[in-house]
Amino acid sequence: MAQRRSTYGDRAHTARRQKSSAFTSRMGYDGGWVDGNTAYMPETEEYEVPSRGRERHEGRQSVQAPAMNVSYVLFLAVAAILTVAVCVNYLKLQNTCTLLQEEATSLESTYSSLKLQNDEEYNRIISSVDLEEIKEEAMNRLGMVYASESQVVTYEAAGGDYVKQYSEIPTGD
Protein backbone atom coordinates (compact mmCIF):
# COMPACT_ATOMS: atom_id res chain seq x y z
CA MET A 1 0.00 0.00 0.00
CA ALA A 2 1.48 3.30 -1.03
CA GLN A 3 1.17 6.30 1.22
CA ARG A 4 1.86 9.82 0.26
CA ARG A 5 4.41 11.57 2.42
CA SER A 6 5.96 14.98 2.05
CA THR A 7 9.71 15.17 2.16
CA TYR A 8 9.48 18.50 3.98
CA GLY A 9 6.86 17.74 6.62
CA ASP A 10 3.20 18.55 6.86
CA ARG A 11 1.63 21.93 6.17
CA ALA A 12 0.98 22.84 9.79
CA HIS A 13 4.60 22.25 10.64
CA THR A 14 5.74 24.34 7.68
CA ALA A 15 3.39 27.15 8.64
CA ARG A 16 4.67 27.17 12.22
CA ARG A 17 8.25 27.35 11.04
CA GLN A 18 7.70 30.41 8.88
CA LYS A 19 8.20 33.70 10.68
CA SER A 20 6.56 37.06 10.00
CA SER A 21 9.81 38.87 9.27
CA ALA A 22 10.58 40.25 5.84
CA PHE A 23 13.06 37.50 5.04
CA THR A 24 10.78 34.64 5.92
CA SER A 25 7.86 36.22 4.09
CA ARG A 26 9.87 35.86 0.90
CA MET A 27 11.66 32.57 1.48
CA GLY A 28 10.59 29.68 3.74
CA TYR A 29 12.90 27.44 5.75
CA ASP A 30 12.27 24.51 3.47
CA GLY A 31 13.42 26.40 0.39
CA GLY A 32 9.96 27.15 -1.02
CA TRP A 33 8.97 30.65 -2.05
CA VAL A 34 6.25 32.60 -0.29
CA ASP A 35 4.21 35.09 -2.25
CA GLY A 36 1.99 37.06 0.10
CA ASN A 37 -0.02 34.63 2.13
CA THR A 38 0.34 31.70 -0.27
CA ALA A 39 3.33 29.45 -0.14
CA TYR A 40 4.81 27.42 -2.93
CA MET A 41 5.07 23.82 -1.82
CA PRO A 42 7.75 21.65 -3.39
CA GLU A 43 6.82 18.41 -5.00
CA THR A 44 6.30 15.38 -2.84
CA GLU A 45 7.62 11.91 -3.48
CA GLU A 46 5.64 8.75 -3.20
CA TYR A 47 7.21 5.70 -1.67
CA GLU A 48 6.01 2.57 -0.01
CA VAL A 49 6.07 2.30 3.76
CA PRO A 50 6.56 -1.30 4.88
CA SER A 51 3.75 -2.54 7.06
CA ARG A 52 4.56 -4.17 10.34
CA GLY A 53 3.47 -7.72 10.48
CA ARG A 54 4.04 -11.09 8.93
CA GLU A 55 4.93 -9.77 5.50
CA ARG A 56 8.09 -8.42 6.97
CA HIS A 57 9.50 -11.89 7.69
CA GLU A 58 8.34 -13.63 4.53
CA GLY A 59 11.79 -13.97 2.99
CA ARG A 60 13.47 -15.28 6.12
CA GLN A 61 13.09 -18.54 7.88
CA SER A 62 12.69 -18.27 11.61
CA VAL A 63 15.44 -19.90 13.66
CA GLN A 64 14.31 -21.58 16.84
CA ALA A 65 16.49 -22.06 19.87
CA PRO A 66 17.37 -25.68 20.51
CA ALA A 67 15.23 -27.38 23.10
CA MET A 68 16.81 -27.86 26.54
CA ASN A 69 17.17 -31.49 27.48
CA VAL A 70 17.03 -32.94 31.00
CA SER A 71 20.79 -33.28 31.46
CA TYR A 72 21.36 -29.61 30.58
CA VAL A 73 18.64 -28.50 33.01
CA LEU A 74 20.17 -30.70 35.75
CA PHE A 75 23.61 -29.26 35.01
CA LEU A 76 22.26 -25.70 35.32
CA ALA A 77 20.44 -26.58 38.55
CA VAL A 78 23.56 -28.13 40.10
CA ALA A 79 25.65 -25.16 38.99
CA ALA A 80 23.13 -22.74 40.53
CA ILE A 81 23.03 -24.71 43.80
CA LEU A 82 26.83 -24.83 43.96
CA THR A 83 27.02 -21.10 43.30
CA VAL A 84 24.56 -20.36 46.09
CA ALA A 85 26.43 -22.73 48.46
CA VAL A 86 29.76 -21.05 47.70
CA CYS A 87 28.24 -17.60 48.27
CA VAL A 88 26.68 -18.68 51.60
CA ASN A 89 29.98 -20.25 52.70
CA TYR A 90 31.83 -17.08 51.72
CA LEU A 91 29.44 -14.95 53.78
CA LYS A 92 29.87 -17.27 56.79
CA LEU A 93 33.66 -17.08 56.52
CA GLN A 94 33.53 -13.31 56.18
CA ASN A 95 31.33 -13.10 59.28
CA THR A 96 33.71 -15.37 61.22
CA CYS A 97 36.66 -13.24 60.13
CA THR A 98 34.89 -10.09 61.30
CA LEU A 99 34.07 -11.66 64.67
CA LEU A 100 37.68 -12.80 65.11
CA GLN A 101 38.97 -9.33 64.29
CA GLU A 102 36.60 -7.81 66.85
CA GLU A 103 37.73 -10.39 69.45
CA ALA A 104 41.39 -9.65 68.68
CA THR A 105 40.75 -5.93 69.10
CA SER A 106 39.02 -6.59 72.42
CA LEU A 107 41.89 -8.79 73.63
CA GLU A 108 44.44 -6.17 72.59
CA SER A 109 42.53 -3.56 74.56
CA THR A 110 42.41 -5.87 77.60
CA TYR A 111 46.13 -6.60 77.24
CA SER A 112 46.96 -2.89 77.08
CA SER A 113 44.97 -2.11 80.22
CA LEU A 114 46.49 -5.08 82.12
CA LYS A 115 50.01 -4.11 81.03
CA LEU A 116 49.39 -0.56 82.21
CA GLN A 117 48.14 -1.84 85.59
CA ASN A 118 51.14 -4.18 85.87
CA ASP A 119 53.61 -1.39 85.09
CA GLU A 120 51.95 0.88 87.64
CA GLU A 121 52.10 -1.85 90.33
CA TYR A 122 55.74 -2.61 89.50
CA ASN A 123 56.69 1.07 89.78
CA ARG A 124 54.80 1.33 93.07
CA ILE A 125 56.64 -1.71 94.49
CA ILE A 126 60.05 -0.48 93.28
CA SER A 127 59.48 2.96 94.76
CA SER A 128 58.36 1.48 98.09
CA VAL A 129 61.59 -0.52 98.52
CA ASP A 130 64.29 1.38 100.41
CA LEU A 131 67.66 -0.28 99.70
CA GLU A 132 69.41 1.58 102.53
CA GLU A 133 66.88 0.24 105.01
CA ILE A 134 67.42 -3.32 103.73
CA LYS A 135 71.22 -2.88 104.05
CA GLU A 136 70.94 -1.61 107.60
CA GLU A 137 68.58 -4.45 108.56
CA ALA A 138 70.88 -7.10 107.02
CA MET A 139 74.08 -5.76 108.66
CA ASN A 140 72.74 -4.92 112.12
CA ARG A 141 70.05 -7.51 112.78
CA LEU A 142 71.23 -10.43 110.66
CA GLY A 143 74.99 -9.87 111.06
CA MET A 144 75.95 -9.69 107.38
CA VAL A 145 79.34 -8.16 106.50
CA TYR A 146 81.02 -7.16 103.25
CA ALA A 147 83.36 -9.75 101.67
CA SER A 148 87.09 -9.25 102.30
CA GLU A 149 89.73 -9.19 99.53
CA SER A 150 90.77 -12.77 100.30
CA GLN A 151 87.23 -14.04 99.75
CA VAL A 152 86.93 -12.56 96.22
CA VAL A 153 88.13 -14.82 93.38
CA THR A 154 88.46 -13.38 89.87
CA TYR A 155 88.88 -15.42 86.70
CA GLU A 156 88.67 -14.96 82.93
CA ALA A 157 85.60 -16.12 81.04
CA ALA A 158 86.32 -18.27 77.98
CA GLY A 159 84.59 -16.20 75.30
CA GLY A 160 80.95 -16.38 76.37
CA ASP A 161 78.73 -13.95 78.12
CA TYR A 162 77.64 -16.55 80.68
CA VAL A 163 79.40 -19.13 82.79
CA LYS A 164 78.28 -22.63 83.72
CA GLN A 165 79.67 -23.95 86.99
CA TYR A 166 80.37 -27.71 86.80
CA SER A 167 82.38 -27.97 90.03
CA GLU A 168 83.27 -26.03 93.14
CA ILE A 169 85.39 -22.90 92.75
CA PRO A 170 88.94 -23.62 94.02
CA THR A 171 90.04 -21.68 97.05
CA GLY A 172 93.26 -19.68 96.93
CA ASP A 173 94.68 -21.00 100.27
List the one residue out of 50, 57, 36, 54 whose CA is nearest residue 3: 50
Q: Residue 11's pLDDT is what?
A: 55
The pTM assigned to this predicted structure is: 0.39
Distances, alpha carbon 100 to alpha carbons 38, 78, 104, 107, 152, in Å = 87, 33, 6, 10, 58
The per-residue pLDDT for 15 is: 53
Q: In a structure prediction context, what are the per-residue pLDDT tens digits for the chain, which is 173 residues long?
A: 455 554 555 555 555 555 444 444 444 445 555 666 676 666 677 777 766 665 555 556 677 777 788 999 999 999 999 999 999 999 999 999 999 999 999 999 999 999 999 999 999 999 888 889 999 999 999 989 888 888 888 877 667 677 777 888 777 65
